[in-house]
Structure 1
Amino acid sequence: MAINVVWFKRDLRLSDHEPLKAAISTGRPTLLWFNFEPWLVNDPHYDERHWRFIVESIRDINRKLKAYNTQIYVTYGDTVEQLQIWHQQFSIESLYSHQEVGLLNTFDRDKQVASWCRQHHVNWFESPTGAVQRGLNSRQQWQKHWYETMKAPLATPDLARIQPVKAVSVDYRTLPKSWFERRPSFQYGGPAAAWATLNSFLEQRGRAYHYSISQPIRAQHHCSRLSPYLAWGNLSLRECYQATVDKRRETGWKRPLNAFLSRLHWHCHFIQKFESETAMQHAPLNRAYENYPYRSDTQVEQHLKAWQQGKTGYPMVDAAMRCLLQTGYINFRMRALLVSFLCHYLHIHWQYATTHLAALFLDFEPGIHYPQIQMQAGIIGTNTIRMYNPEKQAIEKDPTGAYIDQWVPELAELPLEIKHAPYRITPMEAQMYGFKLGEDYPSPIVDVDDYRPIARDTLYRIKKSVAGTKEAQRILKRHVVSR
């Protein structure tokens, strides 16, 4: 019998799902499929926290699909080889999926799938992801397209009409046990958790959104916390947008929700930038920065390791990294601080941030990740270069010291002013509080003025150079949104 295959990737939901809707509407038997690919599982951008989130998402979806006598069938192996197996077993008429704005290796895989489909006369129908447009060379009318997409009716599959295909899933016992272990410090995957999170944000948590987003301790509660659900497709951006617009009509919600809606717009903006210039994965968007003179001395590895472990001697930097290691989440300002500290205060190449942070961010989204890291590293050349002073950020964004207390507990008993900058402790204070800098907490691995002036002068010199200016003009022409 001829069948459809719906290939789930970063779209792990049953609602507002154009490929699923289209496949069901044909009336043809439809197989729902997710494939774990060994080369992607082993890619340094990913960590078990991502695969656990995916497993949680699939299990949640399958609980709902049970009522329709079907499920998402899970396999582990090469995607083209698995398609060949399905084709030999059932004869695939059409393959349905969303376009994936992923890493270069997933794009190469998609080209292999496209080749296989042509060779075997299988129709492959790819639906856009959000408002991202494949092959776009300019932003002419992009904003209009974005709003039209967000306001369009949801693509609601009629699950009652699905014609199930019975297949065989991988034996879950052959997958790593850690993928199935509940980790309470991480957000739980799946559409049910996504909707619960969105509803709690729109019912109460979001009221303080606009003045809480920069403070990490407040952001944990008042930010939407939807990013992993959007990254893995438990919730579509359009569903989130429309629910937010509906809520904005209520008294008292306009200001915080306007701020939130602007960030939903940024979501597609950055992914579109990456989609249009995927070389950002390996090279600066602004080519004038390709030969930026980062450090190459013998201490680079030691300093990088201290940054990765949250042992730099700067409490706010260390708190952010330790929180990320343990929960997969930090707010936007702390993400910017981590990248700025690595690139500006340690003067270490921005590429060292990419895979390390990607593997830690539960909401790792390639299309947002690379443009953001390059922007925070100051190598785009079209934005203000921001160098976040770690002590100033501690004082302003953690005024009570609660965030530092939570993630750097070795400083919890110190007075606030020392907690923010333990490297300023006097010998008398150290004796009074029984605290030994360098033993109880690391001494700063660098002085803030060791590399910051070098980074500042070099970044601005390149930005103002003929090559830097020319590249900035090219970038603005291609990526500035026009109506």
Structure 2
Amino acid sequence: MTETALVWFRRDLRVRDNPTLAAAADADRLIPVYCFDPREYGLREYGGERSFRFRKTGSHRVRFRRESVADLRESLSARGSGLVVRRGRPEEVLPELAAAVDADRVFAQTLPAPEEVAVENRATAALRDRGLAVHRFWTHTLYHVADLPTPFTAVDDTYTPFRKAVEAEASVRDPVGVPDLPSPPASVGSGRVPAGEIPSPVDLDEALSDPTPDERAVHSFPGGEGAGRDRLKQYLWRGDHLREYKETRNGMLGADYSSKLSPWLNEGCLSPRAVEREVRRYEDERVANESTYWLLFELLWRDFFQFQSRKHGGAFFRREGIRERTDLAWRGDGERLRRWKAGETGVPFVDANVRELVETGYVSNRGRQNAASFLANDLGVDWRRGAAFFETHLVDYDPCSNYGNWAYVAGVGNDSRDRSFDVLGQARTYDPDAEYVKTWLPELDALSPERAHEPWTMSEAEQEASGVRLGVDYPEPVVRPDG
């Protein structure tokens, strides 16, 4: 009897090291499918207590996702298969498609965040109601959830004990190869990968077009598995940058101060196992040092937040966090949040990072931490509103890493220590010449590095002489970080 299978691509937009695709390829006929789910676009409710509305997916990530889906289609087509693209809710699209081709089984990636789990469970229930078998595969982390030293429900809530246990007692599985793919049924329409518009139905609140490239961007971040593999090769082998990663990773300007692999990892164009394997080869052929270890250390941080999200579910995303902090008085929407989002707090190091994020979809890890700390700890604004703003704009947005890091900085997450950053101290340390600040705030170009970081310290005479008048050319600080 001929067996027909569907493979539902989610955040695993690759053909290499994709166990879901490899397992599905045993079928006689295979229909790969990707759904542009309208719930991921437009204005949406945050959900839960004290909810608010925000835009789920901004233009930078939409552009990257479209390119990644198109690249996946080309990769599958080159192997004699194809990709069916549909707009709609997976729990509606997949059963209809399965019925149209008389499918027997569905293969899909499983993901850890509550929204992702909910979609997956609804789709699985709808498929099983029609008599289809559903097979789910954990493929988004470096270490497989089944290989952890403890069940994910018992992983430590602090990173260091988690890391030590995993490094001592677990191992990374070997990547799987690219399978031979059976042909899809000829009767299935392939559908169109959206070009130039948000893939969403007509109830979208506001259409977004492709962002205008900014020449100041640290990288163009083209979407797709091919681009991700090229970036990995460039960073490790052609540029030989990995040997100095630990020393350069806190940089602010340029393409190669860090690996910049996160967009491809988070959309699943690269698997973390493939990255780990390439780092191990680099260590064998070039050098093994603290920097090469540190990239793997960061991949394990990424794993940590995936497993934490799976463990804690909705609590991971609540205002009180997993620590149930009811002692913190948070501000909601208001002038402080508006100015932070606009990059107009009057604190240059914060404003520069927010403006880079909005204009390019990317900002360094150092910048993210400082922008987050200033909003939550200096301005006292509900940290979830800042995290949701990042969700909108980041080209490399991952729900677990984004909200986990924000909760961590805000003091409601995976660390009991005070995570408040000294923004001025950080600015002087990581941008001593104010080159970064002046790149994103050119109105401060005439100022000395000291004044560029603290323009509110200028006298009226200095303001007139420099042409930077507070409240006119650059805002007065909403609060002064120096007290």
Q: Tell me the TM-score normalised to structure 2 length.
A: 0.85
Summarize the alignment of residues 26-175 of structure 1 with structure 2, pairs less than 5 Å apart: 26=27, 28-42=28-42, 43=44, 44-102=55-113, 104-129=114-139, 130=141, 131=143, 133=145, 136-139=152-155, 151-159=172-180, 161-166=181-186, 167-172=188-193
Does residue 344 of the first structure (1) align with residue 344 of the second (2)? no
What is the Cα deviation at residue 118 of structure 1? 2.1
Q: Which has the higher helix share?
A: 1
> For residues 350 and 227 of structure 1, what CA distance do their matches in structure 2 show?
22
Summarize the alignment of residues 193-212 of structure 1 with structure 2, pairs less than 5 Å apart: 193-203=227-237, 204-212=240-248
CA contact (8 A) 2:9 2:34 kept: yes
SS in 2 for 1:35: strand
The residue aligned with 2:391 is 358
1:312 to 320, 333, 345: 345
In structure 2, stretches of 5+ residues that fail to align are 45-54, 199-207
What is the Cα deviation at residue 2 of structure 1? 4.4
| Paired amino acid for 2:88 | G
What is the Cα deviation at residue 276 of structure 1? 0.6
> For residues 197 and 62 of structure 1, what CA distance do their matches in structure 2 show?
20
> For residues 337 and 210 of structure 2, what CA distance do their matches in structure 1 show?
31
SS in 2 for 1:448: coil
CA contact (8 A) 2:13 2:268 kept: yes
What is the Cα deviation at residue 154 of structure 1? 1.4
> For residues 25 and 397 of structure 2, what CA distance do their matches in structure 1 show?
30
Summarize the alignment of residues 154-303 of structure 1 with structure 2, pairs less than 5 Å apart: 154-159=175-180, 161-166=181-186, 167-172=188-193, 176=197, 183=213, 185=217, 186-203=220-237, 204-217=240-253, 220-279=255-314, 280-295=316-331, 301-303=334-336
What is the Cα deviation at residue 354 of structure 1? 1.9
The residue aligned with 2:204 is none
Decide whether aligned partners of structure 1 residues 289 and 19 sit closer, same or farther in structure 2, where only a CA change above 3 A counts.
same
> For residues 8 and 242 of structure 1, what CA distance do their matches in structure 2 show?
23
What is the Cα deviation at residue 396 of structure 1? 0.8
SS in 1 for 2:302: helix
Decide whether aligned partners of structure 1 residues 284 and 336 sit closer, same or farther in structure 2, where only a CA change above 3 A counts.
same
> For residues 63 and 149 of structure 1, what CA distance do their matches in structure 2 show?
36
Residues 156-188 of structure 1: per-residue CA shift (max 9 Å, x gap)? 2323x4232332133456872766678465411
> For residues 169 and 72 of structure 2, what CA distance do their matches in structure 1 show?
28
Residues 433-478 of structure 1: per-residue CA shift (max 9 Å, x gap)? 222111111110112366xxxxxxxxxxxxxxxxxxxxxxxxxxxx
| Paired amino acid for 1:18 | P
Coordinate RMSD, CA, aligned: 2.5
Greater displacement, 309-318 / 171-180: 171-180
In structure 1, stretches of 5+ residues that fail to align are 451-483
1:434 to 440, 451, 467: 467
| Paired amino acid for 2:33 | W
Q: Tell me the TM-score normalised to structure 1 length.
A: 0.85
> For residues 6 and 167 of structure 2, what CA distance do their matches in structure 1 show?
28
Identity score, percent: 23
What is the Cα deviation at residue 215 of structure 1? 2.7
Summarize the alignment of residues 467-482 of structure 1 with structure 2, pairs less than 5 Å apart: none
Decide whether aligned partners of structure 1 residues 84 and 342 sit closer, same or farther in structure 2, where only a CA change above 3 A counts.
same
What is the Cα deviation at residue 286 of structure 1? 3.6
CA contact (8 A) 1:70 1:165 kept: no
Residues 333-361 of structure 1: per-residue CA shift (max 9 Å, x gap)? 11111111001110111121121111111
Decide whether aligned partners of structure 1 residues 180 and 281 sit closer, same or farther in structure 2, where only a CA change above 3 A counts.
same
| Paired amino acid for 2:412 | I
